[in-house]
Structure 1
Amino acid sequence: MTVTIYDVAREAGVSMATVSRVVNNNPNVKPQTRKKVFEAIERLGYRPNAVARGLASKKTTTVGVVIPDISNAIFAEVARGIEDIANMYHYNIILCNADKRKDKEIRVINTLLEKQVDGLLFMGGAVTDEHIQAFNTSNVPIVLCATTDEKGTIPSVDIDHELAAYDAAKRLLSEGHRRIAMISGTLQDPANGFARYQGYKRALEEAGLSVDEELVRIGNYKYEAGMEAAHHFIGLSERPTAIFAANDEMAIGAIHAIQDAGLKVPEDISVISVDNIRMASMVRPQLTTVAQPMYDIGAVAMRLLTKLMKKESVENAKVVLPHELIIRQSVASV
């Protein structure tokens, strides 16, 4: 049978109110009494009813996190940052994978809100009108993590994706490259796709170059997409001297495709990307990439959410964290 607070009170010889104070870490309990209650809890195997406590306080100390692709290593690092700060402030996390499908994202958002979470973190992916509509039905704070909404009305933590891509393309230009291909994400993705394409385009235009559509391929951020795009570039009558991939996983796929074709990176084709996942330093040659502070994005987003949940003052609800170009061995001069 389920052990109740009444059973603990009877076992310890105290009132139910005293047991409640002990369970909720109320300081107004004598150490000797606290010890008796804890001993009774241990003997009986009592577990406080979180649902009942939540009904009483109207708080569940639970935060919902929507992750677009649990198999993507970069989101694992964001999730670690979220979890560490959540633990620090005594919040539990419900992590939901949405498989990068808008219909599933909307369903997961609504499910988490039905679970009476105290706050919601939406990680990555495009924020559409349907997302905004779902968010607007919520009476709890919401923070966007590693993405932003087009109008900038929802609190968010991210990097400047256009500037990150611009810096990557500028690095190739500074090494003398002029025929630079891009493996882009979908242009419907405002951050990893469209913004990074815009950064690439701006860098080329500033150098007096126009975007050659033959040198742009759209990928889905997966390794196989990088391989496929690189095979296309290698087969052109005039292949590019460098490839800029919108993320590391596609860049690693491109490196392997180049090597499979009997060519060398960076001697024949240089490769650069954005993200700096762990595999970027494991692949050979090691990948030059623009590092996102993924752990910090998760940690800062969770801290911002705790402030909003506690109705604390927030000076800046739209946080843009710095990125960093990590120079390794996959880029050479021409």
Structure 2
Amino acid sequence: MAASIKDVAKEAGVSIATVSRVLNDVDVVNEETKKKVQEAIKKLGYRPNIVARSLKTQKSRTIGIIIPDISNQFYPEIVRGAEDVSNIYNYNIMLCNTDLDPDKEMEYLRVLKEKMVDGVIYMSNSLEPAIIDLVKSLEMPVVLVETTDRANTFPSVTIDNEKGALDATEFLIKNGNKRIGYVGTHEDVVNAAAYRFQGYKAALEKHNMEFDKNICYFSGLKANDGYEGIKEIVKKADIDAVFCASDEIAMGVINGLREEGKRVPEDVEVMGFNDIYSASIFYPKLTTVVQPMYDMGSVGMRMLIKIINGAELVQHHFVLPHEVVKRDSCKK
């Protein structure tokens, strides 16, 4: 039979109220008594009834994490950073994968509210107005990771995606490339990748290069999108470089170029974005924009736990540093 809170109190020689205070980390319990209770909990293998405890305290010590695509190597590293911090503060994680479906995002938000999670780390495929309105109406603490909403309503952790794309495109320009294609998300979509298209255009404008929609392909962020995109682009125009809104796209682009008899980087240079694990082992190894994925998750979780516990945030929007890492998919 499982041990009860009464058994723990008896083993530690304290009241049930004292055990409850230790479990809820109330400061009035002295260290010696706290140690006795913790030893009794360990000895008896006691586990609190989370449901009953949640109803009483209105806190579940559970945090929801919503990600758009669990198959994308970018997101697990963010989750790992968030989970490591949650473990330090004794929070559990409930992971929700939305399969890039806005309706599924909204349903998961409702489910997490019903499950009485204390807060949500939210990585959205597209922060449309309906989703923003739902998040507000549910009145749950939320921290956005990887992107921001257009009005900066919610605390967030991201990089400067527009500047990252500008830096990446400038890298290609400084390599002497004159016709630089783009494969990725359109700027009208409300997510991080959309800002990368803006950065791409800004770099062209900065260097007095004409924007040509014929060498742009708008789609998703997967390898197949890159493969199909580059096939369409090379039908219509000659290019000497491609900026891709994700590393997966870049891999698809390279495979498509190979089929068209074009060498990377000798004939066409290819730039990725994110620096997922595969970027450094793919052939050729990808030149790409590095995002500090683990740090994004850990900073986001620390922010969320502060909000949950009523602490004031020193900073509501963290913009972490990025860099372009040179590998083999570009000449220099």
TM above 0.5: yes
Matches within 5 A, 1:98-117: 98-117=98-117
Q: Does residue 136 of structure 1 match 2:136?
A: yes
**1:8 positional shift:** 5.4
1:175 aligned residue = 175
2:279 aligned residue = 280
RMSD (CA atoms): 2.4
**1:198 positional shift:** 1.0
Identity rate, percent:
40
1:37 aligned residue = 40
**1:276 positional shift:** 0.6
Matches within 5 A, 1:222-241: 222-236=222-236, 238-241=237-240
Distance 1:140 1:73, change over 3 A: same
> Any gaps of 5 or more consecutive residues in structure 2?
none
Instruction: Work out whether residues 186 and 194 of structure 2, in 8 Å CA contact, stay in contact via their aligned partners in 1.
Output: yes
Q: Distance in 1 between matches of 2:60 and 2:37?
A: 24
Q: Distance in 2 between matches of 1:126 and 1:297?
A: 18
Q: Output the amino acid matched with 1:41.
A: L
Matches within 5 A, 1:142-291: 142-236=142-236, 238-291=237-290
Instruction: Work out whether residues 227 and 253 of structure 1, in 8 Å CA contact, stay in contact via their aligned partners in 2.
Output: yes
1:319 aligned residue = 318
Q: Output the amino acid matched with 2:151.
A: K
Q: Distance in 1 between matches of 2:159 and 2:279?
A: 19
**1:10 positional shift:** 6.4
Q: Distance in 2 between matches of 1:124 and 1:302?
A: 16
**1:263 positional shift:** 2.2
Q: Distance in 2 between matches of 1:33 and 1:168?
A: 57
List per-residue Cα deviations over 1:24-77 (Å, max 9, x = no partner): 5754665896488347624xxx43211222222221111111111111110111
Instruction: Work out whether residues 201 and 211 of structure 2, in 8 Å CA contact, stay in contact via their aligned partners in 1.
Output: yes
Instruction: Work out whether residues 140 and 309 of structure 1, in 8 Å CA contact, stay in contact via their aligned partners in 2.
Output: no
List per-residue Cα deviations over 1:294-334 (Å, max 9, x = no partner): 1111111111111111111212101111111101111126x
Matches within 5 A, 1:8-19: 15-17=15-17, 19=19
Distance 1:258 1:6, change over 3 A: same
2:292 aligned residue = 293
Instruction: Work out whether residues 64 and 112 of structure 1, in 8 Å CA contact, stay in contact via their aligned partners in 2.
Output: yes
Q: Distance in 2 between matches of 1:123 and 1:242?
A: 30
**1:255 positional shift:** 0.9
**1:153 positional shift:** 1.6
Mean Cα displacement is larger for which, 126-135 or 106-115?
A: 126-135
Mean Cα displacement is larger for which, 15-24 or 109-118?
A: 15-24
Normalising to structure 2: TM-score of the pair? 0.91
Q: Output the amino acid matched with 2:68.
A: P
**1:106 positional shift:** 0.7
Q: Distance in 2 between matches of 1:272 and 1:70?
A: 23
Q: Distance in 2 between matches of 1:309 and 1:152?
A: 19
Q: Distance in 1 between matches of 2:234 and 2:39?
A: 74
Instruction: Work out whether residues 162 and 196 of structure 1, in 8 Å CA contact, stay in contact via their aligned partners in 2.
Output: yes
List per-residue Cα deviations over 1:265-300 (Å, max 9, x = no partner): 000111002111111111111110011111111111
Distance 1:139 1:191, change over 3 A: closer
Number of residue equivalences: 329
Q: Distance in 2 between matches of 1:181 and 1:66?
A: 32
Q: Distance in 1 between matches of 2:319 and 2:13?
A: 55
Q: Distance in 2 between matches of 1:114 and 1:242?
A: 49
Distance 1:67 1:31, change over 3 A: closer
Matches within 5 A, 1:29-68: 30=33, 34=37, 37-38=40-41, 41-42=44-45, 46-68=46-68
Q: Distance in 2 between matches of 1:32 and 1:301?
A: 31
**1:234 positional shift:** 3.0
Q: Distance in 2 between matches of 1:206 and 1:192?
A: 21
Distance 1:4 1:265, change over 3 A: same
Instruction: Work out whether residues 126 and 188 of structure 1, in 8 Å CA contact, stay in contact via their aligned partners in 2.
Output: no
Instruction: Work out whether residues 255 and 271 of structure 1, in 8 Å CA contact, stay in contact via their aligned partners in 2.
Output: yes
Q: Determine helix, strand or coil for the equivalent of 1:143.
A: strand
**1:185 positional shift:** 1.5
Q: Output the amino acid matched with 1:226.
A: G
**1:16 positional shift:** 3.7
> Any gaps of 5 or more consecutive residues in structure 1?
none
Instruction: Work out whether residues 70 and 99 of structure 1, in 8 Å CA contact, stay in contact via their aligned partners in 2.
Output: yes
Mean Cα displacement is larger for which, 10-19 or 64-73?
A: 10-19
Instruction: Work out whether residues 146 and 192 of structure 2, in 8 Å CA contact, stay in contact via their aligned partners in 1.
Output: no
Instruction: Work out whether residues 192 and 246 of structure 1, in 8 Å CA contact, stay in contact via their aligned partners in 2.
Output: no
